[in-house]
């Protein structure tokens, strides 16, 4: 962030704005869309040793089940693939150390003239889970074969394809039992082709759309990408590409359903000027360095985090050049806001395991995962809005600081600068991180700690009085049919304002010299001017 300030100089001060103002007045285009998806294609009937044994004895017709007997099936698949390459005149490449497969795909795309078809086929050995046969002995000492799960390095054949609707994608088959396959496709590539087909002009860029003349039409089209369309494009190419299971096998029920290995959901907000984007994201990074904490992740993903929740909860700030990105993780999933293409804020939620949210991996569960991903974006943006834009109007501030009477119940005002009031505002900031609300006994210890008192000797009646004050002023509300309290939107804004103004305005001033030499007074004047400029930059003065 210091590098950014050095690059942009004093221009940051001139363009620094509220997050809400930037979102309302400086976002030229926004889009929520499915991004990259990795899918697993598998045959359920051959996912266990017993299933493989049944497959060998029934469709293949062998007497003694052994994985050695699937060798002819694997050889037939490899020969069929070689024949497919020759027939269609595409390259068969053995992947080794050298050019990346994406670079090879881009090279072939640049010279490809058809609407769709195969680009090339790549072969490589990869470690994967397979079945093998081991020799065991029964009680009488007679040997018999037994099929078990193991790992090996079989060949994988990757078919890189250009599809008419989905653009570049690949389907990778393992050449050994259970013959699993992996599919990778890109939602933004699908969207670009749909816009072209419907005559909507757009300016594409890396992983998204920069601008379009019909922005209102783009989001509904992006929402049309669903599980049936993804399943259909896979079936389409499985019918064209060689694969291990013959028509007789498919007729016997040995077919490939799809499951979700990884799903990426992206929110792109294009800003009017690169400078606005840099300043916006700099402020966001400063305020959300705690995004990876358990209490923050449970708010973003709306999941309860306990000591037994697996995963490392941390915030990582990764910098590529002068552009940083934030990374927060929940179990195996993560949310990543970053600045892209010099002019856009992009937020990606990557779900690496649907089980993190008690959702099955089957492709028909994509709508539920999509809702989780996009809802996480909205909650993150809402948190940034509350965190950065904590200013309120004079009428709200005056109402909170003055006594109030509600239904004949009177409550004292919450005067700024009062030690106990500031402790209550710190307490409200903690309450904001608990989605289920808090009880009297939960906040009593925190309050005593803020005031430097012993929790055991802290008066319970005083805490009851404080909670009543906060409730009557509308800063907290009681959860129906419970003894819990939760923070209101007004309470979040008031608490942020009190705490931030005290931390940034009053606490630094406490160490300033009241009098002294001329040199000291000059230093004080410079520091006072710097503080005034700082408070103006962070929007804490009119």
Final residue belonging to a domain, choices 389, 418, 440: 389
Alpha-carbon span 323 to 232, nearest angstrom: 39
pLDDT at 20: 60
Q: Which domain holds residue 322?
A: 1-37+260-389
258-271 vs 344-351, strand pairing mode: antiparallel
pLDDT at 521: 61
The answer to whether residue 212 sits within a structural domain is no
Task: Say whether pLDDT at 12 is over 50.
Answer: no
Are 2 and 69 in the same domain? Answer: no
Query: Rounded mean pLDDT of 318-342?
Result: 77
Alpha carbon distance, N-terminus to C-terminus of the chain: 25
DSSP 37-93: EEEEE--GGGSSHHHHHHHHHTTS--SS--GGGGHHHHHHHHHHHHHHHHHHT-EEE
Helix 440-451 and helix 419-431, axial crossing angle in degrees, nearest 10:
130
Final residue belonging to a domain, choices 350, 367, 389: 389
Are 273 and 369 in the same domain? Answer: yes
Are 175 and 316 in the same domain? Answer: no
The answer to whether residue 208 sits within a structural domain is no
Task: Say whether pLDDT at 13 is over 50.
Answer: no
**pLDDT band per the 50, 70, 90 thresholds, residue 10:** very low
The answer to whether residue 220 sits within a structural domain is no
CATH number of the domain where residue 501 is located: 1.10.10.10
Are 378 and 314 in the same domain? Answer: yes
The answer to whether residue 524 sits within a structural domain is no
Are 380 and 445 in the same domain? Answer: no
Peptide bond into 178 cis (omega under 30): yes
The answer to whether residue 236 sits within a structural domain is yes
Say which residue, 428 or 229, is predicted with more confidence: 229
Are 109 and 243 in the same domain? Answer: yes
pLDDT at 367: 95
pLDDT at 328: 81
- Tally the domains of the chain: 3
Final residue belonging to a domain, choices 389, 417, 452: 389
Cβ pair 382, 299 in contact under 8 A = no
Alpha-carbon span 97 to 86, nearest angstrom: 25
Are 93 and 231 in the same domain? Answer: yes
Q: Of 93-97, 393-397, 417-421, where does mean pLDDT reach its minimum?
A: 393-397
The answer to whether residue 419 sits within a structural domain is yes
The answer to whether residue 206 sits within a structural domain is no
Are 345 and 407 in the same domain? Answer: no
Alpha-carbon span 475 to 96, nearest angstrom: 62
pLDDT at 285: 67
Mean pLDDT of all residues belonging to the chain? 80
Are 247 and 373 in the same domain? Answer: no
The answer to whether residue 215 sits within a structural domain is no
Q: Of 14-23, 117-126, 210-219, 391-400, where does mean pLDDT reach its minimum?
A: 14-23
pLDDT tens for 150-185 read 998 998 988 899 999 999 999 999 998 899 999 999
Query: Rounded mean pLDDT of 230-257?
Result: 90
27-41 vs 181-186, strand pairing mode: antiparallel
Are 58 and 171 in the same domain? Answer: yes
Cβ pair 222, 33 in contact under 8 A = yes
Say which residue, 274 or 174, is predicted with more confidence: 174
Say which residue, 21 or 161, is predicted with more confidence: 161
Task: Say whether pLDDT at 430 is over 90.
Answer: no
Query: Rounded mean pLDDT of 177-202?
Result: 91
pTM over 0.75: no
Within 8 A by CB and 6+ apart from 387, the residues are: 287, 288, 496
Are 122 and 230 in the same domain? Answer: yes
Nearest to 494 by CA among 406, 436, 541, 426: 426
Are 347 and 454 in the same domain? Answer: no
């Amino acid at each position: 962030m210091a590098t950014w300030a050095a690059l942009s100089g004093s221009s940051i001060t001139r363009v620094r704005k509220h997050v809400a103002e930037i979102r309302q007045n400086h976002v030229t285009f926004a889009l929520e869309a499915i991004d990259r998806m990795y899918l697993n294609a598998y045959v359920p009937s051959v996912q266990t040793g017993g299933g493989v044994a049944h497959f060998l004895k029934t469709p293949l017709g062998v007497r003694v089940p052994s994985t050695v007997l699937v060798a002819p099936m694997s050889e037939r698949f490899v020969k069929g693939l070689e024949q497919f390459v020759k027939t269609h005149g595409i390259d068969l490449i053995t992947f080794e150390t050298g050019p990346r497969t994406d670079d090879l795909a881009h090279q072939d795309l640049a010279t490809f003239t058809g609407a769709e078809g195969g680009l090339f086929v790549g072969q490589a050995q990869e470690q994967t889970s397979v079945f093998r046969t081991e020799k065991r002995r029964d009680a009488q000492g007679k040997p018999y074969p037994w099929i078990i799960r193991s790992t090996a390095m079989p060949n994988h054949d990757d078919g890189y394809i250009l599809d008419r609707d989905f653009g570049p994608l690949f389907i990778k088959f393992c050449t050994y039992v259970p013959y699993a396959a992996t599919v990778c496709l890109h939602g933004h590539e699908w969207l670009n082709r749909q816009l072209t087909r419907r005559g909507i002009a757009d300016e594409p860029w890396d992983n998204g759309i920069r601008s379009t003349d019909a922005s209102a039409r783009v989001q509904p089209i992006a929402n049309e990408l669903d599980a049936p369309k993804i399943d259909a494009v896979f079936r389409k190419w499985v019918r064209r590409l060689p694969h291990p299971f013959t028509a007789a096998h498919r007729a016997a029920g040995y077919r490939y359903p799809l499951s979700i290995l990884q799903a990426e959901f992206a929110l792109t907000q294009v800003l009017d000027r690169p400078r606005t984007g840099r300043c916006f994201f700099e402020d966001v990074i400063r305020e959300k360095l705690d995004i990876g904490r358990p209490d923050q992740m449970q708010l973003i993903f709306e999941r309860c985090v306990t000591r037994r929740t697996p995963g490392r909860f941390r915030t990582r700030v990764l910098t590529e050049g002068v552009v940083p990105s934030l990374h927060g993780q929940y179990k195996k999933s993560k949310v990543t806001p970053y600045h892209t293409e010099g002019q856009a804020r992009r937020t990606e939620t990557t779900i690496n395991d649907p089980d993190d949210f008690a959702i099955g991996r089957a492709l028909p569960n994509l709508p539920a995962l999509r809702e989780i991903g996009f809802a996480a974006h909205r909650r993150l943006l809402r948190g940034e809005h509350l965190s950065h834009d904590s200013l309120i109007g004079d009428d709200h501030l005056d109402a909170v600081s003055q006594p109030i009477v509600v239904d004949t119940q009177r409550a004292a005002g919450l005067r700024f600068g009062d030690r106990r009031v500031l402790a209550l505002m710190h307490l409200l900031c903690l309450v904001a991180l608990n989605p289920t609300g808090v009880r009297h006994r939960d906040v009593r210890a925190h309050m005593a700690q803020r005031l430097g008192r012993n929790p055991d000797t802290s008066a319970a009646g005083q805490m009851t009085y404080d909670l009543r004050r906060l409730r009557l002023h509308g800063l907290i509300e009681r959860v129906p049919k419970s003894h819990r309290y939760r923070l209101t939107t007004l309470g979040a804004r008031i608490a942020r304002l009190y705490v931030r103004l005290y931390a940034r305005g009053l606490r630094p001033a406490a160490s300033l010299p009241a009098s002294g030499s001329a040199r000291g007074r000059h230093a004080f004047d410079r520091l006072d001017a710097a503080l005034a400029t700082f408070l103006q930059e962070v929007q804490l003065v009119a």
